Amino acid sequence: MHTQQRLAVEIAGLGSYLPERILTNSDLEKMVDTSDEWIFPRTGIRERHLLADDEATSDMATAAARTALESAGTAAADLDAIVVATCTPDYFFPATGCLVQAALGAENAMSFDLEAACSGFVFALTWAAGVIASRLAHNVLVIGAEALSRFTDYTDRRSCILFGDAAGAAVLRPAQNGGEFIYAELGSDGSRPNVLITPAGGARAPASHDTVERRDHYMKIQGREVFKAAVNKLTELLATLPERTGVSLDEVKMVIPHQSNVRIINSAFQRAGVDLSKAYMNIDRVGNTSSASIPVAMTEAVERGALERGDLVLFLAFGGGLTWGSVLIRY
Ligand code: ACO
């Protein structure tokens, strides 16, 4: 999908939730054969948050949503739609979006989940901007929420060092503060499903004693393949932005990339000739939180005063599917 429209839709409020429990690199040293000296230089990660035993994705999503609604000054009952981007839902069904709707008391909102792995938030944001612009909805709550620790194999040192749990939320509505949704370029390539996959538990390999013994309900990643594909696509998205939008990267106040790996982001910026200081990074403290990473980072940037109303912000995402997205907004 490829659109370029000037839509008077803005992010009215933001919120995030990080669970209290923290897993550091030195904690991981006691679980698998690894070290902070290996993890930090290769990923940029020092620690990540993990949800409590009695928490699930919808709890984190609801907490982030409450803050976003409060900051937007929007009542839950005034929401027309809730979309939760997640690849780690509470259940296959009912949708996590429906659980969030009930927890918030958003009785007038249609609610559902959207699965596009690490690109989920930018896909959901684009859907929301479209339905508001076409007057199908007025107030839409977009959430990225992931309980990745529940699908992480803590005996596999190649993957368990990467992931954390979190939720981030944004309330979208017709612009009142001069914000706008400027450009979206979203894409997918489903030809290589195995590079990032949770092989079992779905219709292809339903849960069985064997699938559990093979640990196939955990995420499997081909790190090098994902790394190369992510760098190539993110470089292309950065390099083509000016010709596609007429907006130069000098005019963009901040790029908020999906926090996948500091080296993926560094390489893409370097190859596209973009100053790395434009990138907002918090991966050292949160790890890779898939669809939650962009709204969590943006909430933090706004809270710290690094982003203000009127600033141009570029979201960049790449993840399982494979999927990717580049979304330019005026905050
Ligand atoms: N600690 C110590 N040694 C390790 C660890 C570890 N945690 N993990 C791997 N190694 C070892 C391997 O066993 C291997 O040793 P060997 O050569 O003796 O077999 C060596 O280090 C190199 O392993 P690679 O897997 O090739 O390591 P690489 O340099 O590619 O780094 C990493 C791995 C960090 C996962 C990297 O590939 C990466 O970040 N990939 C992309 C991230 C990703 O897949 N994210 C998934 C979500 S999608 C997204 O967010 C974009």
Q: Is any ligand 1 atom within 6 A of the Cβ of residue 228?
A: no
Q: Give the span between the Cα atoms of 47 and 25, in whole angstroms.
A: 6
In the chain the first and final C-alpha atoms are separated, in Å, by 23
Q: Is any ligand 1 atom within 6 A of the Cβ of residue 318?
A: yes
Query: What tens digit of pLDDT does each residue of 273-288 get?
Result: 999 999 999 999 999 9
pTM value? 0.96
CA of 86 to the centre of ligand 1 (A): 24
Residue type, 233: K
**Whole-number pLDDT of residue 151:** 98
CA of 224 to the centre of ligand 1 (A): 7
**Whole-number pLDDT of residue 105:** 98
Q: Which residues in the chain land under pLDDT 70?
A: 1-7
**Among 35, 45, 30, 36, CA closest to 264:** 45
From residue 25, alpha-carbon distances to 45, 46, 266, 283, 287 in Å are: 8, 6, 21, 13, 11
Mutation pick for ligand 1 pocket among 37, 158, 163 (CB with most ligand atoms within 8 Å) = 158
**Whole-number pLDDT of residue 3:** 55
Contact 289, 164 (CB under 8 A): yes
Q: Is any ligand 1 atom within 6 A of the Cβ of residue 319?
A: yes
CA of 33 to the centre of ligand 1 (A): 13
Which domains does the chain show, CATH number per domain? Answer: 8-176 (3.40.47.10), 182-330 (3.40.47.10)
Q: Taking the CB of residue 75, how many other CB atoms lie within 10 A of it? A: 13
If you take atom 1 of ligand 1, which residue's CA is the nearest one? 34
**Whole-number pLDDT of residue 64:** 98
Q: Is any ligand 1 atom within 6 A of the Cβ of residue 220?
A: no
Instruction: List the catalytic residues.
Output: 118, 258, 288
Query: What tens digit of pLDDT does each residue of 74-94 get?
Result: 999 999 999 999 999 999 999
CA of 282 to the centre of ligand 1 (A): 20
